[in-house]
């Protein structure tokens, strides 16, 4: 029943996005929606790893940063056309993920969390200290805009369509993976790694593959970010950035693609709402994290669904 409606839902969503892009002209709102799109990509990437495969990663912003910096360095210092820098950026992140993933994914639980955190911190420090290449703590200026053939994606409107087209493509990709045998194997790993191994799932290889894939998607987001703002600095890819990505996935709802979209939207817009409280922003942010996780550990979307289900059940009895 559900699968029948899926293509309709996708088309509807795509049309909705196209409509928004067509009607909204204000550059600020477009910018906001672009950032939501980028955050959705990040949330999707981590969702595949954490939500479906059940592997905690507290250093995911590192891949975001690697994607951004590789394209920045290649397209600015070495004058490589951005379109060619794209596979390099994504490829570099995936390679690093593969190398780091092999020893790290053998860990689990808290140890895995700390291992990924350590990795994320090291990448951040390298980006900050290797100033001859990355520009150091002062950041990297002068990134050229993205050109695909004759089209230059320099305006907010064109970038809006670009980013959301990519988001839709990635959603589609993730959906295909989840609905396949691979996806079921991932869930098996999530529910019980030993049991999954017992029924013949190659857990090590699968975990590594998901890790590499999610690194690639995050790097893609980094690539898009670099060519949007034309300036990047290590501060955007540190520990707090990784925590923000985790928050988006967790609050939006793990193991839910639309939850990732919701989580990304919420977290991008939250600072706008909290602006009135500017001094209290940290306090409110931390409070929201704690409260949502204590009472709705499966994320807001599922949490609200659970409440709805319980309400329906008590009413059905009458």
Partner 1 sequence: MQELLQYLFSGMTNGAVYAVIALGFSMLYSSTDLINFAHGEFVMLGALCMVSLTAGAGLALVPAFFVTVAAVAAAGMLFERLAIRPVRHPQPIVLIIITVGASIFLRGTGMLIWGKDAHSMPPFLDIAPIDIAGARLLAQSVWILVIVTALAAGLHLFYKKTLTGKAMTACAVNKKGAWIVGIPFKWMVLLAFGMSTGLGAVAGASIAPITMSSYDMGTILGLKGFCGAMLGGLGSLWGAILGGFLLGILEAMGVGFVSSGFKDATAFLLLLLVLYVRPQGILGTAEVKRF
Partner 2 sequence: MRFVRKDSPLLLAAALLTAVVFASAFPALAESGEKTWKIGGIFSITGPASFLGDPEKKSMELAIEEINAAGGVDGRMLEAVIYDTEGDPSKAVMAAGKLINKDRVTAIAGPSRTPTTLAVVPMVERANLPFVSCAAGNKIVEPIKPWVFKTAQSDIQAVASIYAHIEKQGIDRIGTLTVANSFGESGREQLIEQAGDFGITVVRSESFGAGDTDMTSQLTKIRQEKPGAVICWGTNPGPAVVAKNAEQLGLDIPLYQSHGVASPKFIELAGDSAEGILLPTGKILVADLLPDDDPQKQVLTDYIDAYETRYDETVSGFGGYAYDAVYLLARAMEGTGGDKEKIRENLENIKGHVGISGVFSFSQTDHNGLDPSAFVMVRIADGKWQLVK
* Residue among 154, 243, 270, 305 that touches partner 1 (CB under 8 A): 243
Which residue, 42, 94, 13, 64, is CA-closest to 250? 42
The reply on whether position 126 binds partner 1 by CB under 8 A is yes
Choose which of 103, 149, 150, 200 interacts with partner 1 (CB under 8 A): 103
- Let me know if 204 is exposed, middle or buried by CB neighbors in 10 A (0-12, 13-18, 19+): middle
On the CB side of 174, how many CA atoms lie within 13 Å of its CA? 31
- Residue 152 in tokens: 């230059």
Binding of residue 294 to partner 1 (CB under 8 A): yes
Select 50 or 226, whichever has its Cβ closest to partner 1.
Answer: 50
- 156/256 with CB nearer partner 1: 256
- The contact pattern for partner 1, residues 127-146, with x = CB under 8 A and - = no contact, is --x-----------------
Site for partner 1 in 36-75 (CB under 8 A): 50, 56, 58
Rounded CA gap, 216 and 210, in Å? Answer: 10
Q: Which of 73, 189, 217, 250 binds partner 1 (CB under 8 A)?
A: 250
**DSSP codes of every residue in 82-151:** HHHHHHHHHHHHHHHHHHHHHHHTT--HHHHHHHHHHHHHHHHHHHHH-HHHH-GGG-B--PPPEEETTE
| Cα–Cα dist 94/99, whole Å | 9
Q: Is 152 helix (H, G, I), strand (E, B) or coil?
A: strand
Chosen residue from 109, 149, 150, 200 binding partner 1 by CB under 8 A: 109
Residues 179 and 241 sit within 8 Å (Cβ to Cβ): no
Lookup: tokens for 76: 């600015």
Binding site for partner 2 (CB under 8 A): 1-2, 5, 9, 26-29, 31-32, 35, 52, 54, 128-129, 131, 136-139, 141, 187, 190-191, 229-233, 235-236, 252-256, 258-259, 261-262, 265-266, 269, 271-273, 275, 278-279, 281-282, 298, 300-302, 304-305, 308
Contact residues for partner 1 (CB under 8 A)?
Answer: 50, 56, 58, 103-104, 107-111, 113-115, 117-119, 121-122, 125-126, 129, 239, 243, 246-247, 250, 279-290, 293-295, 297
């Amino acid at each position: 029943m559900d699968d029948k409606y899926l293509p309709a839902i996708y088309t509807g969503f795509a049309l909705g996005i196209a409509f928004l892009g067509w009607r909204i002209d204000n550059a600020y709102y477009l910018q906001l929606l672009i950032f939501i799109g980028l955050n959705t990509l990040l949330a999707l990437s981590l969702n595949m790893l954490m939500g479906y495969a059940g592997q905690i990663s507290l250093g995911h912003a590192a891949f975001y940063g690697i994607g951004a910096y590789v394209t920045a360095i290649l397209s600015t210092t070495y004058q490589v056309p951005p379109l060619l820098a794209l596979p390099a950026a994504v490829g570099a992140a995936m390679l690093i993920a593969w190398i780091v993933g092999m020893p790290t994914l053998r860990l689990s639980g808290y140890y895995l969390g700390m291992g990924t955190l350590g990795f994320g911190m090291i990448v951040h420090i390298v980006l900050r200290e290797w100033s001859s290449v990355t520009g150091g703590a002062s950041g990297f200026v002068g990134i050229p805009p993205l050109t695909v053939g004759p089209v230059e994606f320099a305006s907010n409107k064109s970038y809006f369509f670009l980013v959301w087209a990519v988001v839709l493509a990635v959603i589609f990709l993730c959906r295909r993976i989840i609905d396949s045998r691979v996806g079921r194997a991932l869930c098996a790993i999530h529910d019980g790694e030993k049991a999954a191994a017992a029924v013949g799932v190659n857990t090590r290889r699968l975990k590594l593959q998901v890790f590499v894939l999610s690194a690639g998607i995050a790097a893609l987001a980094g690539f898009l970010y670099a060519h949007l703002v034309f300036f990047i600095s290590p501060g955007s890819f540190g520990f707090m950035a990784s925590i923000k990505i985790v928050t988006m996935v967790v609050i939006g709802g793990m193991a839910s693609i639309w939850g990732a979209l919701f989580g990304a939207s919420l977290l991008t817009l939250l600072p706008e709402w909290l602006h009135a409280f500017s001094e209290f922003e940290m306090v409110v942010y931390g409070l929201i994290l704690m409260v949502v996780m204590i009472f709705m550990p499966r994320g807001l979307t599922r949490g609200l669904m659970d409440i709805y289900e319980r309400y329906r059940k008590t009413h059905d009895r009458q």
